[in-house]
Structure formats: structure tokens, C-alpha cells
Structure 1
Amino acid sequence: MAPDNDPHQDEARLSEIVNRLLHFIWTLPLILLQFLYSSS
């Protein structure tokens, strides 16, 4: 049986969170730019 607190699993979860965060940081300015561009 594998332990619940598997460090490799935590690492994978952490990398997934980082990827989502980076994706959010990249897409947010683009969405804002499109919003500003369309509202003007």
C-alpha cells in the first residue's frame, strides 16, 4: 500500500497549481486588453 502523503504526488499537484497560476497570469492581461479594446 502506498502512503497517502506521497511526496511525488504532492509535487505533481504543486506543478499543476503552478501551471494553472502561470496560465491565469498570461491570459488575464490578454482578456483585459480585449475588454478595453472592445469597450472603446
Structure 2
Amino acid sequence: DHASSAITALVAAAGAWAVRVHAVVADVDAVRVAARWRAQP
């Protein structure tokens, strides 16, 4: 669900080492977005 993916993105951006998810494809995408967000200067 969208809320779970948003939380995944937020905790990934905050530096979480791991998250437990059920919607793997959506949450992997959220982690990739967070990684790009963190890489911005």
C-alpha cells in the first residue's frame, strides 16, 4: 500500500539498515528513490 511504501522511503532516507515489507516491488522502488534523494548535494 502507498502509506507503507512512503514509510519505507522515509526510514531508508534516514539511514535504516533494513525494513520488513510485504509489497517488495513497490518498497524496493521506494528505497531507490530514497537513495537518490540522499545522494543529492
Instruction: State the TM-score bracket (shorter-chain normalisation).
Output: 0.3 to 0.5
Which entry has the higher C-alpha Rg, 1 or 2? 1
TM-score by length of 2: 0.44
Q: Which structure is higher in helix share?
A: 1
Greater relative CO (CA pairs within 8 A, separation 6+) = 2
